[in-house]
A and B are shown apart, each in its own frame.
Chain A
Amino acid sequence: AQSVTQLGSHVSVSEGALVLLRCNYSSSVPPYLFWYVQYPNQGLQLLLKYTTGATLVKGINGFEAEFKKSETSFHLTKPSAHMSDAAEYFCAVSPSGGYNKLIFGAGTRLAVHP
């Protein structure tokens, strides 16, 4: 069965610092991979996704993620954190070749301080 592990339930960074949120997946075949963001009292919003092709994926709000098959990882990064990035971030996988059932990680809450 596929699963997703997000290292660190809480991450705190200074404004302007690098953001790195970690995600590892387990799957017998490379799945499709997603990062979602949930701002306080709002629904989930897709940040970016990897399906096939280029392993470095760029998303909204300056975020990007790199698919590394050898490490079964899909870490999310942003070079410079903004206060508005404070939110909860979820990594998710979906089996390739099937429909879009999403299996989520436990989430990482990002705090950005001045």
Chain B
Amino acid sequence: GAGVSQSPSNKVTEKGKDVELRCDPISGHTALYWYRQSLGQGLEFLIYFQGNSAPDKSGLPSDRFSAERTGGSVSTLTIQRTQQEDSAVYLCASSLSGGAGLDEQFFGPGTRLTVL
């Protein structure tokens, strides 16, 4: 079966534009996570979905960041009015149920975002 896929793989945008990043989790996985990997901050948790609900949004860095998940499957991370500090690799992961320590998180290849 297919793993976690993300699109686009690379995105270059101008400061102030909005961007949408897409994640397709493994089929049947109810838990979905977004992380950000940047030079200055390392790997940071952004948001966690269980089904279509997001019980933990604590890692979203500002109100310019939002995410949704529809049909318990595809998720979209939206960044409005992008800034240069948003440049990073955005990683998506999914796991079967989200139970602590019990389910492996499978990571996608990431979307590399560059804000000029």
A binding-site residues for B, Cβ under 8 Å? 32, 36, 42-46, 49, 51, 90, 92, 94-107
Contact = CB atoms under 8 A, between A and B. Distances in A.
A49 B101 CA distance: 8
* Closest 9 pairs between A and B when the two form their complex, measured CB to CB: A32-B101, A104-B43, A51-B101, A44-B107, A43-B107, A99-B98, A106-B42, A43-B109, A98-B100
A100 B42 contact: no
A79 to B, nearest CB: 25
Interface in B34-49: 35, 42-45, 48
A100 B100 CA distance: 4
21 contacts: A32-B100, A42-B109, A43-B4, A43-B91, A43-B107, A43-B108, A44-B91, A46-B104, A49-B101, A51-B101, A94-B101, A95-B100, A96-B100, A97-B100, A99-B50, A99-B98, A100-B33, A100-B102, A100-B105, A101-B33, A107-B42
Interface bin, chain B:
20 to 34
Given A49-B104, A90-B43, A97-B100, 4 more contacts: A43-B108, A94-B100, A100-B95, A100-B100
Interface of B: 4, 31, 33, 35, 42-45, 48, 50, 55-56, 91, 93, 95, 98-105, 107-110
A67 to B, nearest CB: 12
Contacts of B31: 99-100
Given A100-B95, A100-B98, A107-B43, A43 B110 contact: yes
A87 to B, nearest CB: 14
